[in-house]
Structure 1
Amino acid sequence: MAFDERRYTREVLEPAREAGGLPPEDLRIRYQLHEAMTSADVTATVKQVRQCWRRARGMLKYKRLADRLEADHARFAPIFTAAAEGDLQPLRDALGESERRAERRLSDAGSRLEDAAGPLRMLTPALLATIARSSGVGQEEAERLAARRSIEVREPDALPEAAPYSGYGRAREALDTLGLSHLGRFLYGDRCADMRVLDGFAVPGAPSVEDALAEAERYWAARTRGPWTVGADTVIAALRNSPDPGLLIRYDIVARLRERVPEHPYDDSLLRHATTELDLAAGDARRLIFAVRGEGGVATGPAARLRELVDAGEIHAAADFAEALDAGALTGDAAELATEVRARLASAVRLRDRARAALDPDDAWIALRDALQRVPDLPGASELLLRLAPHPARAVRASVQGEGVGLVWQPSPSRAGRVVYDVLRNGTPLTTTDRPSARDERPPVNVPIVYAVVARREEAVAMPAVAAALIVRPEPGEVRFGSGDGVVSGTWTLPAEAARVRVTRDGQVVAAGDTGFRDRDVVNGTSYTYVVSAVYPGQDGEAVTPGVRRAVTPHGRPQPVTGFTLRADPAAPGTFLVRYEEPPEGAVEFVALDVPPPWPVGTTLSLAELRAAGRAIPAFATRDGQAIRPGAGREVLVAVTVAGEMATIGGHVDHINLAPPTGLTAQRRGGAVLVGFEWPQDVTEVEVRRNGHPAIVTSAAYRARGGVRYEVPESEAVAIEVAATSVVDGRRVRGPAARLALPGHIPVRYDLSYKGPSWKRSVVVEVTADRPVTLRRLALVLKPGHIQPRTADDGLVLDHWTDLEVPARLTVPAPRQAKPYWLRCFAEGDGGTVAEDASEAVGGRGGVALIDPPVRRLKME
């Protein structure tokens, strides 16, 4: 199809100009290309497109865009050169990458629209156009992006500036007196949810404003007269005398929303306020917030135009505009802006001239960057910046790493701007990175490869740094070796480009096929070094890779271990000691199976088959055998003799391993003892013994009851044993037990009371017990404040008694202490330290438990 320049201008150049001068990322659009083109078609079309750019450059509005397109073309020139020579693959790769960049640009623009719309999901047309320009997408594309994301593009609703009723202020004060949030609440109460005030006032499912106002008049007329009815009359009068009560309600809502906007920086919190407190329907709430946030006057005149140009970054245009104005127009804000614009332009021109005279491109780049920060539209600065390439990268090194190629280089010494590196393979772009390293995951095989690294700053590129040529020849993959009785074998996968595989043993060639070999010229017990190399065809003959190297030792058939003994290790719970007669060759391992082994004793099989059938048991060597740790539950333990890749089956035993419970605890709760533990894995029953009396507990019963509970007098000591148990061949087997001893104690109770007149009061401490007991020491402790004392040292000791016979009645002068304060007793008794209450009375040697009275007797307020 012939090149249509008018269509190209309409569909490519004009949208790119509207998008801020950013050319389209998709090279199909930029160069008018399609998949069916031949090399000649591509070359002819690109030539016509570039001629169109040169003609467009003569038009002022396209000049900057045409310069950008020509500067970009330098990056793609090698691709089109290759296409002209008949190689379209680099162009296809570049087209795919440009399409992905275009998709990313659209995605970024969509994200910006999402962020700008926020929870309100609304944008003004002006803001949409700004985002479209800065994102490099056209206005129509931005509108389609907004529509796909359910973002509404609209001008804000016009809102009233003044109340439609002059007495609105008094009506609002009356609403505050009545405790109502807005006028709609006065008329409709709880019925005003989802109220709509735009496009006409309405409350779904409720009467009209006039009917609601009549109901309100009747309701308040029947109320007893008072300040509330006066306020209601004021509100009713405002609604009745307003030209349109619906407009007055809308103004009331808008006024309250305007007041809240400074308090709510986020739209989602303002939406919650509008829908919950102001009872607005969600759609009206969004539109009102959007309109209130967008309120503001529109400035006009020279000052406004100058400010608009300055805010848009068009400083040079602002300077031209100021020069064109009459002297009388430059007054006030306009004069200040014109002075600022002229100063920024003069400073930027000096920096541009300094950049032109600089010998170091970095110094020139820094000066131009500063100039463009002051005047983004400074003539000639952007074009000069595009010619300031960074210093090139250096010392590029490429090396084969596995099936890929790794590249490293010394970074560009340029210190100005962000320098990135374009990596090329045989002249075709491979990747872009900001690090001094890269990797080619899929290099071509068995052909010379030349990698180049081009340092780039913005669009300016340095001379390429080239690595030494290399050739990638992968080694054979998935190389595996096996050994048997007088034989060594190997297998591999042949690389697609390789002609064959070469195998050597200690430097001697071994006969091999395309996928494996079998070498019988070996001696058992001797170690051999095998090398498996790939052979590739080359221009100067065959090329052989260094190869995969492996040491292999063949072994004779291992002899079985026909019998062994197994006993528990008393020093290490869960560990068992195994004794057997060592075989003459190989190492002995133990394997766990779920069922007896399917192979007879003496059967030799591959080690891989054995590993697939059973689980290797962790073990370590001992003086006369091994120590192993079988798993929990019932297993069949098999002795296996392993030599190289062969395993010979030996004897086996049926073993059940019942692990002891862990985390055993016992705690008294008055006259009860609660026993808990972590249930052993793969065990369904345990045996619990209390003072030698056994009981079987199932896991279901344990979990249903939350543990094991015994009724035991507090003074009785308790010995607990818990062991896993199971029935094997008709008899019950019991595993190792976990033990715990719980001493008894005697509960001792005390009470506090006061007696005597206020000026001579005493504290009476009455101590009682179910049977006589002697307390080694009893202390009465005082602690001011709201927090009770936790120990005898956590406060002031008012008095103490030693070797106190219980029961006892003790008297202490009442303390002269400001309330609130606490009084509490702490004691030591025969046999050990006493806990603070009965629930904590679990000690090592038994004793007494001092039990507090109610809190109201301890705290003085």
Structure 2
Amino acid sequence: MSFDDDYKREVLEPARAAGDQPPEDLRVRYRLAEPMSAESVTAQVKQVRQSWRRSRGQLKYRKLIDRLEAEHRTLTPIFTAAEHGDLGPLRQRLRGGDERNAARRAEVRKRLLDAAGPLRLLAPAECEAIARDGGISRSELGQLLRIDGVEVHEPDVLPSGPPYPGYAKAQESLQVLGSRHLLAFLIGERAGGIRIFGGVSAGGHRIDDMGAFQALQRVAGEWARRPRDTSATHAETVLVALRTALREGFLHDLLGYDLVSRLRDRRAQRASDSALMDLAVRGLGLDPHDARRLVFAIGREGTGGSGPSARLRELLDSGQAHAAALLGDSITDPDAAAQIEEARQRVASASRLLDEALDLTGRGDLDEAWLRLEDALRLASDLPGAAEHQRRLPPLPPSDVRVSVDGTGVRVVHTASPSRAGDIVHEVVRRAGRAPFDSADGSLVPAGADPAPPVNVPLYYAVYARRGEATSSPVAAGPVVLRPEPGRVGLAAGDGTVTGLWECPAEAARIVVYRDGAPVEAGREGFTDRGVDNGTAHHYRVCAVYPDGAGEVETPGVRVTVTPHALPEPVTDFTVEPYARDRILLRFPTPDHGVVEAFLLDRDPPWPQGAVLPLADLAGQRIDATPHAQGLVVRPGASGVLLLVTVAGESVAIGASRRHVDLPAPSGLVAQRRGAEVHLGFVWPGDAAAVAVTYEIADGAAKRISVSRASYAAEGGVHLPVPESDPVRVGVCGTSDHDGAILTGPAVTATVAARPVVRYDVETAGPLWKRALVITLTPEKPVRLTRLDLVVRDGKVMPQRPGDGEILVSWQDFDLSAPTTLRVPMPKREGPFWLRCFSSPEAELADPPVRRLKQER
């Protein structure tokens, strides 16, 4: 679609619908897009103005284009600055445009609310007039109506007169009796929720003939039991009216008209819509929804005119100025003088334009003649001869028509007609053997491509431009001959053999096949080529042969390359062995033909072992594998069925399979030293039956033990005997026994550092009046202590941590490379007490016997 077409659809048409109001937003008017630059803005404005000049030739855009050009002159300084690289004035104007748009919408919204009034109802014509005057689009109008809850629909058509001739007398009688209306007289004065559209009902119950008859019988009986007086006479008058309406089938019409007439009387007294709504709902008992529709319809009554003047205006508004002028010649009403003069002037102007169009036609300027006639028809759509002449004006022909074979169809491309007046469509006609003479001389095909042309026949195509009923002269191209290639060509390579299948076109005489340039014997639907070399790529060309009257024509052909292979040999059996953490080794003898690959299936293979099938038919997840001297190293990553297949070319042989259980790694491994043991705790790895625990003490050899899930739970973890003075490295992984093979999952590791042991003893020395404590420290290996505390605690409970008692003495940062003795004065206590040493984490203190730590006074 061209730029002009897009611009008309996105900018000009919405502006016309808004009353020829140019868009306030310059981004829309000039189709400016972010990011903006001086070059892009200048080029875009130039292109848009050129589109204006081309579109102005159409009368429907002329007024709008004139307004756009007039406003553009006021914007010249802004675009001049942009052309020189200053986009500031343009961006400031864009911000101002947003403000003006908001103000314009606010004004239209105010007018809509004012016109809708308290009923929040508007007629479609009223909405369109307000939107057109305010210069907003239909979508904007719809948004404003939804915001304020204003509904739009045509007023209901109400009865102009009573269906019962004696209605006036019955109404007077109702007034004397003090009844609100006929329906209240019939079913009771408390009647409410009355609806009159779609049938009269009250309180949600429809007043059908049987119900009305029973109500009439009841009311007549009540009045019959009363004394005869003037009220009874008036009641009889009303009853006669209701019986007549029921018998003759217009009871609903009479009841509805009675309600309408009461509101009309109040409207004639210049009552407001709010007062009428109050009367309808509270006074007459109408349902609010029907009351709203009724008040809206009554308020819109009497807005049209009547008589000769109204008829002339109706003709002029519908564009029939010629008929209005003829009618005016027979009218003497002075009130219609203005309409008669308008009709005559419009006919005169339209006739002058018709004469100009005829002159332009004689000079060959058909596009300009078409535009003159378009203007004339806008003034007088019934001007004699104008529409007929316009329909006979053909557009300029298209040019540069080209045709080419495109698969099984023919592609037709052309340059569009240069005519811009009117709605131009292009048509393509196909004919076999010669070029079409006119638009009816051949078969009409879709523009752009002929999807199903005749095969093996010389085809000619002609392109026409059509405007209305007139077509341009044809522009032909051809001949082109469609000779389809063989369809759905498929070649399969086997062991020294290549087979092929295809769909032969019905019109083809036969199919020929060439392998590496040499002919191969082939039938109409396929071939088998035996004795080809395995492992060598062979190039085949499959061609269709068509008769052409003088001989045969061979198509270029469909080219396919295949490589034959010996049939793959299946793997008959394999074993599974653990290999490097989370990988396993699939051990098997390497087959002589084909490459072995591993697949993971979610169920047992659906193919028997040894079956050979196309590679494309193989289902399952291929596992990334590393070749090994004795098989494949794989990491399945999930549980399932391991399947080994052998691939050769496009064929695959199904091998052995076995079920595999994926073992996740243990998580949350914690290793803690507890004296001469290291305690291990972790989250059990999935469904593993056991775990393998590997540990290395210092530089010793690795040891491995197997721990069952039951043993782990009973022991509260895993306990490893490790001297406190040696570091240990630990690894834990899940294991599973499959057919006698122990499979291991990924392992987690931890390292526990060595803690030298320092043994100490506590003794007393010296006379009773000068007792002292002698503390002897004996390290297994030299160690530097950051802190050593001697803690005393009264009572019978030994301190378990430094905070359980009073720190008697604290030694800071000293080397302990040999046995060392420390002397401390004996603490003065009233009763028995405990002594115990605590050190920093660099070493493990070994306590002396308990009797050495407990002191008695």
Give the alignment's TM-score, normalised by structure 1: 0.46
Greater gyration radius: 2
Give the alignment's TM-score, normalised by structure 2: 0.46
